[in-house]
């Protein structure tokens, strides 16, 4: 059975970070060991929240406790998302190193949360550079959005070709697989969202309809499902297709229900038997 050590935030109400990744991964048959970095009442998009930000030493203690059970060699991958402070990010990297010592075949998937188109950078000063210089080079899979891809590569990309060029440049920094989770590009259908993946073996894209609104946590869900499908199938082209089908189908169900939060429980069947399927196009 595939096992993922997921080091992310947690919220009591709603679904972001581990609260968006743990149940979907379990629903598709993946064992998840969640390590939380914060435990908030709700995600910060509401403008107000309560709860603790865990210290890096707390995260280290939890990972050490897991290691003391003698089970880290079962971990196939480490998954991380939003990193609120450099000390937390450094602890994530130490956890990755430890897992890889216990299981040299294990990989690291990083969702390099920095900002978004239209919002700009929304993490603390220093975090974007830390992600670029320290975290991304240590990862085998990275899942930036369009804004984050441009920041990480120091480029401005407006076409599919430019995005693939930037993804190639990012892979040269360390990662084997770059999934660009959403793009805003010239010459593409404005009613669609493009997801692209770039590897040494090839590049693929999937277009899905643009929904009325964006949902906090959808990027966390996308990264988790893509990692799981990569681990299961070993094929980025297949993984991007399966991920796009499930994520869009769940987001469409959430939109149709008028929910402000992802309907991970009510629409859970969309994760394993999506209502919508989209063609995967090989780009090279």
pLDDT per position as a tens digit, 245-278: 999 999 999 999 999 999 999 999 999 999 999 9
CA distance 236 to 186: 25
pLDDT tens-place string over residues 129-169: 999 999 999 999 999 999 999 999 999 999 999 999 999 99
- The 10s digit of each residue's pLDDT in 188-230 is 888 999 999 999 999 999 999 999 888 999 999 999 999 999 9
Task: Answer with the residue of higher pLDDT: 84 or 126.
Answer: 126
Q: What is the pLDDT of residues 158-171, one digit of tens each?
A: 999 999 999 999 99
Distance (Å, rounded) from C-alpha 203 to C-alpha 193? 17
Strands (E) across the chain are located at: 3-11, 31-40, 77-80, 107-110, 115-116, 120-121, 141-142, 177-183, 192-198, 203-209, 280-282
- CATH code, 198: 3.40.1190.20
Instruction: Please give the order of strands across the beta sheet that includes 107-110.
Output: 31-40, 3-11, 77-80, 107-110, 141-142, 177-183, 192-198, 203-209, 280-282
- Work out how many domains the chain is built from and give that number: 1
pLDDT class of 58 with cuts at 50, 70, 90: very high
Asked if the model's pLDDT at residue 177 lies above 90, the reply is yes
Strand residues in 62-158 grouped as ranges (E): 77-80, 107-110, 115-116, 120-121, 141-142
pLDDT score at 123: 82
- Using CA atoms, how far residue 94 sits from 22, 101, 115, 119, 281, in Å, is 22, 11, 24, 31, 37
Q: What is the DSSP secondary-structure string of 233-248?
A: H--HHHHHHHHHHHHH
Share of the chain above pLDDT 70, in %: 100
**Residue that wins the pLDDT comparison between 185 and 31:** 31
Q: For the residues 59-68, what does the mean pLDDT come to? A: 98
Strand 31-40 relative to strand 115-116, pairing: unpaired
Query: What is the residue-wise DSSP string for 165-211?
Result: HHHHHHHTTS-SEEEEEEE--TTS-TTEEEEEEE-SS-EEEEEEEPP
Q: How many residues does the structure list for the chain?
A: 284
List the single range of 14-18, 67-71, 182-186, 191-195 with lowest mean pLDDT.
Answer: 182-186
Residue 20 has pLDDT above 80, yes or no: yes
Which residues partner with 38 through β-bridges? 53
CA dist., res. 196 & res. 191, Å (int) = 17
| Dihedral, 46, 51, 56, 58 alpha carbons, nearest 10 | -150
Q: Which domain holds residue 231?
A: 3-282
Determine contact, residues 9/37, Cβ cutoff 8 Å.
Answer: yes
CA 114 to chain centre: 12
What is the distance between the alpha carbons of residues 129 and 165, in angstroms, rounded to a whole number? 21
Mean pLDDT over residues 163-191, rounded?
94
> Residue 27 has which token pair?
């629903």
Residue 82 clears pLDDT 90, i.e. is over it: no
């Amino acid at each position: 059975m595939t096992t993922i050590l997921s080091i992310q935030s947690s919220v009591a109400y709603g679904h972001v970070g581990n609260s968006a990744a743990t149940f979907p991964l379990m629903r598709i048959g993946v064992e998840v060991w969640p390590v939380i970095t914060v435990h908030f009442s709700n995600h910060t998009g509401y403008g107000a929240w309560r709860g603790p930000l865990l210290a890096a030493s707390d995260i280290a203690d939890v990972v050490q406790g897991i290691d003391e059970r003698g089970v880290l060699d079962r971990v196939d991958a480490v998954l991380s998302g939003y990193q609120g402070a450099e000390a937390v990010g450094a602890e994530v990297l130490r956890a990755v190193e430890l897992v890889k010592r216990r299981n040299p075949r294990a990989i690291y998937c990083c969702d390099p949360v920095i900002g978004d188109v239209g919002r700009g950078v929304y993490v603390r000063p220093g975090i974007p550079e830390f992600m670029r210089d320290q975290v991304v080079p240590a990862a085998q899979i990275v899942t930036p959005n369009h804004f984050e891809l441009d920041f990480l590569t120091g480029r401005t990309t407006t076409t599919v070709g430019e995005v693939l060029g930037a993804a190639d440049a990012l892979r040269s920094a360390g990662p084997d697989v770059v999934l660009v989770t959403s793009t805003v590009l010239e010459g593409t259908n404005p009613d669609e969202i493009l997801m692209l993946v770039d590897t040494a073996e090839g590049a693929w894209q999937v277009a899905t309809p643009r929904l009325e609104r964006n949902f906090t946590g959808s990027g966390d869900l996308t990264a988790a499902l893509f990692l799981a499908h990569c681990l299961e199938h070993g094929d980025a082209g297949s993984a991007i297709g399966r991920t796009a089908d499930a994520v869009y189908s769940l987001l469409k169900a959430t939109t149709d229900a008028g929910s402000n939060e992802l309907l991970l429980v009510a629409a859970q069947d969309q994760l394993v038997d999506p209502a919508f399927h989209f063609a995967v196009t090989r780009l090279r």
